[in-house]
Amino acid sequence: MAARQQDDIPHFDILIIGAGLSGIGTACHIANTFPQKSITLLERRETLGGTWDLFKYPGIRSDSDMLTFGYSFRPWNKLHTLADGTAIKQYIADTADEFGVTEKIQFGVKTISANWNSEAKRWTVTALHEASGEKREYTCGYFISCTGYYNQDAGYSPTFPNEERFKGRKVHPQHWPTNLDYRGKKVVIIGSGATAVTLMPAMANDAAHVTIVQRSPSYIFSVPSIDRMTGLLKRFLPKQWVLRLARKRNLAIQRGIYLACRRWPNFMKKYLLSHVRKHVEDSVDMRHFTPKYMPWDERLCSVPDADLFNAIRSGKADIETGEIASFAENGVVMKNGKTLQADIIVTATGLNLLTLGGINVSIDNTLCSFSQKMTYKSVLVENMPNMAWIFGYVNASWTLKADISATYLCRLFKYMQDNDFEVVEPEDHDDCALDVGIMDSLQAGYVQRGKHQLPRQGTKHPWKVTMHYGKDRKMLLDDPIEDPALHFFKKSSMYKAAPLKDTTKREASA
């Protein structure tokens, strides 16, 4: 329930957009630390889970190990290394129930805009209850976006020549039909990322044959599906000890692989390719697994128990590398003249970026360009009062960053509460904004297509986004809250939003 009413508009101390992994985690942190604060979550879907409720394609699972993908305050307690989508969604739901967050969610509500009123020192959030068409308004003291970074309405679907000629069925993984029967069918999957390498082995057992068509390969690495060492230790040691130890171990492995890939790319390329060669032996041409880029210029694709390699070795699946010339009535024609027959074509061609879930954000009714702002410690937003943006890691488990970001917010709220502050606003005094986005270094197609939508990168702390868990952990959990870059305003003081900067230079090069 709202804390109080004003002009029949419900008011909350904290309003969170999104009830996915980040939104639920953030709400649990805040509700546990500040049980007296009123909190609500606006979720467009009819149930929680976000990504894990949206995607329904065969084999949907995490691409990060669950001990680091799960919440630090409620560790993943199963031995599956990469959990399926159903299990992850249930884990999120159970966490929300345990921390009393489920009852705080308003479902079926699409957030349209958020406007900060300097005089009232609060946000007004406008939303639409999509089922009824009813427009709703809320006010809040603090506004937190946990919407992720991609468009949930539409995945990326490039146009192929003569698509209309294809007589079979074409589907995108983001909108998987519940009635799609692929048993005994020939399937072509267009794509080379995590979705494609998940779909192939999941469909291969029932389909007549599955072929991945990729323009260029990705690095693929097999991991054990079951964490047997953790299972063994749980027999002799307290469960919480074992889970903490296993989480630290996995963190060290993840970070070690990433740093090794950045420091010794040629060596790691040879290592990763030798790992693939061991699994496929002589069954395939290694050019299908040899990317043109260096490791971690894009994310590595993890597969459990070498399932993709096993599907290829069994003859149930294969990979074709090259460009598609056109669709045909019975499949796709490659530029090399080869025709790949298909009853079903799956376009696993990626995502479309969308920041803040497409919400229009304004200050005193002046629309703000979120993509031209920097983020403070990757959590707060430059010149945006009482606003946070939860954005996880792209080079490690998303939740690692979301967890420590939410913990930082709790520290910030405690500091404001103890010092009678009502408003906080980050401001760049050193003009340290760069004309590059926070993910520009990642060469993934969806990033390069939509990087102009993401916030800018800064030259130095606290405006520089490092994607480094160790450094971020110290910055967010240990460094003092008080900072010259943060402006605090007492409840009794007058507040006026900082004047909007001239971002012409940033916009011209973005």
- 419 is a domain residue: yes
- 481 is a domain residue: yes
Domain endpoint, select from 347, 376, 394:
347
pLDDT of the residue at 439: 72
Q: Mark whether 310 and 370 lie in a shared domain.
A: no
Q: Mark whether 385 and 474 lie in a shared domain.
A: yes
The structure's pTM equals 0.91
**CA neighbours within 13 Å on the CB side: how many for 50?**
22
pLDDT of the residue at 509: 34
Compute the distance between CA of residue 413 and CA of residue 33 in angstroms, rounded to an integer. 10
Q: Mark whether 90 and 176 lie in a shared domain.
A: no
Please give the C-alpha separations between residue 32 and each of 11, 95, 99, 401, in angstroms, as whole numbers. 20, 12, 7, 19
Q: Mark whether 99 and 139 lie in a shared domain.
A: yes
- 158 is a domain residue: no
Please give the structure tokens belonging to residue 193: 């990322």
pLDDT tens digits, 297-355 = 888 899 999 999 999 999 999 999 999 999 999 999 999 999 999 999 999 998 888 88
Share of the chain above pLDDT 90, in %: 71
308 sits in which H/E element? helix 307-313
Domain endpoint, select from 347, 368, 387:
347
End-to-end CA distance of the chain: 42
Q: Mark whether 330 and 214 lie in a shared domain.
A: yes
What is the domain range of residue 113?
A: 4-152+352-509
Q: 383: exposed, middle or buried (C-beta count within 10 Å: 0-12, 13-18, 19+)?
A: buried
Which residue is associated with the tokens 């460009």? Answer: 323
Helical spans, DSSP H, in 34-111: 51-54, 66-69, 85-98
pLDDT of the residue at 7: 62
- 101 is a domain residue: yes
- 494 is a domain residue: yes
Length of the chain: 510
Q: Mark whether 128 and 180 lie in a shared domain.
A: no
Q: Mark whether 128 and 190 lie in a shared domain.
A: no
Count of structural domains within the chain: 2
pLDDT of the residue at 38: 98
- 102 is a domain residue: yes
pLDDT of the residue at 424: 97
Q: 158: exposed, middle or buried (C-beta count within 10 Å: 0-12, 13-18, 19+)?
A: exposed
Q: Mark whether 468 and 496 lie in a shared domain.
A: yes
- Any idea what the CATH number is for the domain that residue 337 is in? 3.50.50.60
Which residue type does 391 have?
A: F
Q: Mark whether 389 and 269 lie in a shared domain.
A: no
- 157 is a domain residue: no
pLDDT of the residue at 157: 87
Cis amide linkage into residue 217, ω under 30° from 0: no
Q: Mark whether 148 and 172 lie in a shared domain.
A: no
Which residue type does 332 have?
A: V
Q: Show pLDDT as tens, one digit a residue, over the chain (510 residues).
A: 454 445 689 999 999 999 999 999 999 999 999 999 999 999 999 999 999 999 999 999 998 899 999 999 999 988 989 999 999 999 999 999 999 999 999 999 999 999 999 999 999 999 999 999 999 999 999 999 999 888 888 888 889 999 999 999 999 999 999 889 999 999 999 998 899 999 999 999 999 999 999 999 999 999 999 988 888 888 888 888 898 899 999 989 988 998 999 999 999 999 999 999 999 888 788 999 999 999 988 888 999 999 999 999 999 999 999 999 999 999 999 999 999 999 999 999 988 888 899 999 999 999 999 888 999 999 999 999 999 999 998 878 999 999 999 999 999 999 999 999 999 999 999 999 888 877 766 656 666 676 677 888 899 999 999 888 989 999 999 999 999 999 999 977 666 655 555 443 343 333
pLDDT of the residue at 219: 94
Compute the distance between CA of residue 13 and CA of residue 39 in angstroms, rounded to an integer. 6
Domain endpoint, select from 310, 330, 347:
347
Compute the distance between CA of residue 41 and CA of residue 27 in angstroms, rounded to an integer. 8
Radius of gyration in angstroms for the set of CA atoms belonging to the chain, rounded to a whole number: 24
Q: Mark whether 212 and 113 lie in a shared domain.
A: no
Q: Mark whether 17 and 132 lie in a shared domain.
A: yes
**CA neighbours within 13 Å on the CB side: how many for 221?**
19
- 490 is a domain residue: yes
Q: For residue 226, what is the DSSP state?
A: B
